[in-house]
Structure 1
Amino acid sequence: MSTPPRLGLLSLMGLLILLALAVSGWQPYDRATWLMEVAPVLIAVPLLAATRVRFPLSPLMYGLIFAHCLILILGGAYSYARVPLGFWMQELMGLSRNPYDKIGHFAQGLIPALLAREILLRGGHVAGRGMAGFLAVCVALAVSAVYELIEWWAALALGQGADEFLGTQGDPWDTQSDMFLALLGALVASLLLARWHDRQLRALATH
């Protein structure tokens, strides 16, 4: 049976995130891009620390958030179009562009969907898990849409200076493919991870 993550493990993940932020922010490819890319991390980590006692999340949720933070930090350090892992993927799969940003958008669907599912079920906001899964996907798509709007606003405000943040690499369908990857991530969270998530939620309810 799963148990709530211990303070030591959460503290270790928090320290690793802070270390990754420090290393990535030392000499990033573009300082403004780095700040915009890691902004969600700078918001999420203090929020999670503040709510850890009052509303601890499932171990699965904390682990996925940790992974997502590292994805964002790495993307911020290099800018998404220049992440070495993406170049390796590009060569391996014979792609025309660096696909690292698609990992980020997949996570952008998976993590918000699972978080929404956890809040909906633990708060008793929905009666059935099917509805919780449906609403979780809707929330993830809403988050993805808002992020694309932020990218649009950044492009209008910064002009050519927003190119590194947008990371379109000349793809006219970048926005649509980003949202599609977010949808896939949300579906994975709501369908493939649901049973694992449910077991951890039941364990949390007993503590």
Structure 2
Amino acid sequence: MPTSRTPSLLVAVAVLSCGLLWSGVNAYDVPTWWLEVLPVFMALPLLCATYKNLPLTTLVYVGIFVHAWVLMVGGMYTYARVPLGFEMAEWLGLHRNPYDKVGHFFQGCVPALVAREILQRGAYVQGRKMLAFLVVCVVLAVSASYELLEWAAAMALGQGADEFLATQGDPWDTQSDMLFALIGASTSLLVFSGLHDRQMARLSKCQTPLPTSEQ
């Protein structure tokens, strides 16, 4: 399976690279763009470097691809100015652009799949309930870390961090961000666990599993 996926994944890498160029050239605020798309710059080389020896499931790669586009669009417009967000606000009768909540939903959904795959394939945890619990804990830790990063950016950049924070005057923005990450993780576990298990089973038949923890 890994070899058969290689052409598709190479196309995905090329598309993401073009997306980075497109969003960077058209960025509303360049410093904000760098802050928002930094995870994409970190993830792409890592995924390419580990593909041969430790390939992930197709589901995880697709999730990362979609999440990357969410980040690139948010970085290009800044989250408070994404056109889709204005349309969503009109549909839902909201007073603010909710595109940042889409980003935080994916910040929960995709890392949940990544954490689940690492924990399960590496046999780091026993039992489905404990697996789900730890996955949610990892997602909340990631979300909290991101909020701390936003706080650090606000302290370092002052008013210049407003585009990155995208609070839009909401005093509960940090809490709602973490809530949407939790919703994303829970949705991921409820909707994709079966498919994820099947893909991991197929992958294990043709690839060495992730290193297991010591007994």
Q: Give the Cα–Cα distance (whole angstroms) in 1 for the partners of residues 170 and 203 of structure 2.
A: 44
Alpha-carbon offset, residue 182 of structure 1: 0.2
Counterpart position of 1:79: 78
Unaligned runs of 5+ in 2: 207-215
The amino acid that maps onto 1:26 is V
Q: Give the Cα–Cα distance (whole angstroms) in 1 for the partners of residues 190 and 91 of structure 2.
A: 29
The answer to whether structure 1 residue 184 and structure 2 residue 164 are counterparts is no
Counterpart position of 2:154: 155
Counterpart position of 1:134: 133
Tell me if structure 2 keeps the 8 A contact 1:133–1:191: no
The amino acid that maps onto 1:98 is N
Matches within 5 A, 1:166-181: 166-181=165-180
Counterpart position of 2:49: 50
The answer to whether structure 1 residue 26 and structure 2 residue 20 are counterparts is no
Q: Give the Cα–Cα distance (whole angstroms) in 1 for the partners of residues 192 and 133 of structure 2.
A: 14
Alpha-carbon offset, residue 113 of structure 1: 1.1
Percent of aligned pairs sharing the same letter: 57
The answer to whether structure 1 residue 99 and structure 2 residue 91 are counterparts is no
Unaligned runs of 5+ in 1: none
Alpha-carbon offset, residue 105 of structure 1: 0.1
Q: Secondary structure at the match of 1:172?
A: coil
The amino acid that maps onto 1:147 is Y
The answer to whether structure 1 residue 146 and structure 2 residue 120 are counterparts is no
Alpha-carbon offset, residue 27 of structure 1: 2.8
Counterpart position of 2:211: none
The amino acid that maps onto 1:35 is W
The amino acid that maps onto 1:10 is L
- Name whichever of 3-12 and 120-129 sits farther off: 3-12
Q: Deviations over 1:114-139 (max 9, x none)?
A: 11100001001112222111101100
TM-score by length of 2: 0.93
Q: Give the Cα–Cα distance (whole angstroms) in 1 for the partners of residues 91 and 190 of structure 2.
A: 29
The answer to whether structure 1 residue 116 and structure 2 residue 128 are counterparts is no
Runs of 4+ in 1 over 6 A off after TM superposition: none
Q: Give the Cα–Cα distance (whole angstroms) in 2 for the partners of residues 88 and 40 of structure 1.
A: 26
Q: Give the Cα–Cα distance (whole angstroms) in 1 for the partners of residues 81 and 36 of structure 2.
A: 14
Q: Give the Cα–Cα distance (whole angstroms) in 2 for the partners of residues 123 and 15 of structure 1.
A: 30
Q: Give the Cα–Cα distance (whole angstroms) in 2 for the partners of residues 59 and 93 of structure 1.
A: 33
Tell me if structure 2 keeps the 8 A contact 1:121–1:129: no
TM-score by length of 1: 0.97
